[in-house]
Structure 1
Amino acid sequence: MRVLAAMSGGVDSAVAAARAKDAGHDVTGVHLALSRNPRSYRTGARGCCSIEDSNDARRAADVIGIPFYVWDMSDEFHEEVVEDFIAEYTAGRTPNPCLRCNEKIKFAAVLDRALALGFDAVVTGHYARLATAPDGTVEMHRAADHAKDQSYVLGVLTADQIAHSLFPLGTDTKDEVRREAEQRGLQVAHKPDSHDICFVADGDTPGWLHDKLGTKPGVVVDEAGEVLREHDGAFAFTIGQRRGLRLGRPAADGRPRFVLDIEPVSGTVTVGPREHLAVDGLEGIRPLWCGTPPAGELACTVQLRAHGAEHRATVRLDGDRLHVDLHDPADGIAPGQAVVVYDGTRVVGSATISATKRVAAAVPPR
């Protein structure tokens, strides 16, 4: 096959590209330039949009012996990921920009362009596995190493996108990949993993949002409505947050308080005890299916955070809305996050959480 290797400049994508070549594919490497000004995004090992990353990817392609190009996708990235991130926080939601980037950039814009140029598939360094079902469809499954599994952030892919994807690292551990990179002579063998949000230069998301959105005063209140302090913007808070609340005085019972609710219009942020965060149901919008959508109720598991635990659940699709009943309550789940549905290790699909239902015993009396 003629395949396009998306090379971020890290060790995983470099080894994935090398394995694709070893498998006999005709491989071309491409690095995505996602920033209009790379120096304004992260540098070094903290992100995936830096000049250093582009140079690392080019050197890896030279060692592997494949053609290499840089594609400028900064406009698409800014519109689909950065602007969406700002809009979601403005609306009081908590987005996951990595899912959005996979959905709109890496496996939409890139794959569309690759297919138009005559490539058969895109290969990436994500830790996930592909398997062919008895009916011939390609399924996506969790990686063998659950500690590195990235199927959650790939849950936005459609069946057609999965059929044109390759994930060569799905059966490996990170240590195995690093050892292989070293044996291949790749300089990125021991490069630290990227983390946090690539387009937030210093990792200070509230500060970055404040620079973009300015000051939008509001108040932090307890569940009785007592004002605890003023703030400069509700976008600096997220459901489940404990640190950085700066409430000044402890709760009457001395226990920590967490963000329970964010009302973006008035800017009111409500805090309370952790047990009032528990939810046993949620609703999702914009469902995306990695294969055939579920018919009727599906007994399954769901994952609600990129590195979160699985929760036993029953899901039901009603038109363009996904209803999820959690058998095990979850804490700190915020609208804007993604719910990814699994049938065993197989990724069924995903949806964006639009609303949550608190556990009855956790809802304080009014």
Structure 2
Amino acid sequence: MTETSQRSRPLRVLAAMSGGVDSAVAAARAVEAGHDVTGVHLALSANPQSFRTGARGCCTIEDSRDARRAADVIGIPFYVWDLAERFREDVVEDFVAEYEAGRTPNPCLRCNEKIKFAALLDKALALGFDAVCTGHYAQVILREDGTRELHRASDMAKDQSYVLGVLDEKQLAHAMFPLGDTVTTKEEIRAEAERRGLAVAKKPDSHDICFIADGDTQGFLARRLGRAEGDIVDESGTKVGSHEGAYGFTIGQRKGLRIGTPAPDGKPRYVLDISPVDNTVTVGPAASLDVSALTAIKPRWCGTAPSGPGTYTAQLRAHGGETEVTAELVDGTLEVSFAAPVRGVAPGQAIVLYDGTRVVGSATIATTVRATTARRLNV
């Protein structure tokens, strides 16, 4: 049974309202389900801009005002909580440090782990709330033995369970996702918002990284880390170009390499490796991106940790597909082998394991093994 169908008594619910349509409809549905709901907008920027840039960014003054207007229409109390310093330390600084170390982080996972379901949930529980409600598309399912599981949303096209794979069972016990168990299109969610009189019905979704409103990640990192010129080399170690900062590249990147020397076969080259130690970026053919295995650290389990090797499906990025893997936890490190080689796998990314629709857990990729050379890349 789903979380919404099994909660028989009204709960005190804190609804995280970003100022967007999903969180507004989620809060409205929680009220409609009979819960005592209070809205809260998280102020995550010390210097919020007045207006977002199109569909980029969030947490602006405009967003907080939109959230307040939605709460007024729904008829619930509303507050703004300042978590800017916590967000800066746990999400923004972590993001910069990971890129500086040659890894590719996912700040949305870190925000869900450290802010929405750690800082926010801890504060909510301390104030006597029973649950935190968000507009994520995922499902919490209660088992007969009283434990809870995180599952994909009913609509795979909108599923966001990947960025929630860091939640443990204790956090799931206090999580509410009212949008996850309904098969509706985004257009239908917007139509529902309009029927409810919510002005955010036509507001564009937020994309990219919320704290980089202009979408220029490389520029953001350059301002934080400064320019650091280095070499771009091929797999033999021959210099084929130069760069102004290895942090500006990600594994699998093709565009923006600015390599003057063409490849011997005339085909495009891709970023294969990023070495912060010698500030070198290695490029090569697409086939060299194939990865057959990886190790991942800092595992977080949505329930009991698996024992022994198992067969699962894995998702490697927020909007990626599933791939079949075998995985085993060995001395705290997750060892994963792919049934077929995959591309674009980068240290720092999260791998989320699934058993059917159930989220087993998440871990941070530490090393990868190339299918073509069986050479382990460790950043």
Scaled by the length of structure 1, the TM-score of the pair is: 0.97
Whether the 8 Å contact between 2:58 and 2:213 is mirrored in structure 1 is no
1:149 paired residue among 143, 155, 159: 159
The CA deviation at 1:42 is: 4.6
1:50 is matched with which residue?
60
- Which whole-Å CA distance do the structure 2 matches of 1:40 and 1:309 have between them? 36
2:6 is matched with which residue?
none
Q: Map of 1:318-357 to 2, 5 A cutoff?
A: 318-357=330-369
The CA deviation at 1:245 is: 0.5
1:11 paired residue among 18, 21, 33: 21
- Which whole-Å CA distance do the structure 2 matches of 1:82 and 1:255 have between them? 37
1:165 matched to 2:175: yes
Runs of 4+ off more than 6 Å:
none
1:203 is matched with which residue?
215
1:123 matched to 2:122: no
Q: Map of 1:41-120 to 2, 5 A cutoff?
A: 42-120=52-130
Superimposed CA distance per residue, residues 187-240 of structure 1 (whole angstroms, 9 cap, x where no aligned partner) = 111111100001113111011100111111111011111111121110001110
Amino acid at match of 1:8: S
Aligned CA RMSD, in angstroms, stands at 1.4
Q: CA distance change for structure 1 residues 273 and 41 in 2, over 3 Å: closer, same or farther?
A: farther
Segments of 5+ residues of structure 2 without an aligned counterpart are 1-10
1:35 matched to 2:73: no
1:222 is matched with which residue?
234
Find the residue that maps to 2:158 and give its secondary structure. coil
Amino acid at match of 2:145: D
The CA deviation at 1:40 is: 8.9
Amino acid at match of 2:74: I
Q: CA distance change for structure 1 residues 40 and 219 in 2, over 3 Å: closer, same or farther?
A: farther
Whether the 8 Å contact between 1:41 and 1:201 is mirrored in structure 2 is no
Find the residue that maps to 2:363 and give its secondary structure. strand
Find the residue that maps to 1:202 and give its secondary structure. coil
The CA deviation at 1:250 is: 2.1
Whether the 8 Å contact between 2:241 and 2:261 is mirrored in structure 1 is no
Superimposed CA distance per residue, residues 83-109 of structure 1 (whole angstroms, 9 cap, x where no aligned partner) = 000000000000000000000001100
Scaled by the length of structure 2, the TM-score of the pair is: 0.94
- Which whole-Å CA distance do the structure 1 matches of 2:91 and 2:54 have between them? 21
1:247 is matched with which residue?
259
1:271 is matched with which residue?
283
1:184 paired residue among 168, 183, 196: 196
Overall identity of the aligned pairs, in %? 68
Deviates most, 176-185 or 61-70: 176-185
2:268 paired residue among 221, 246, 256: 256
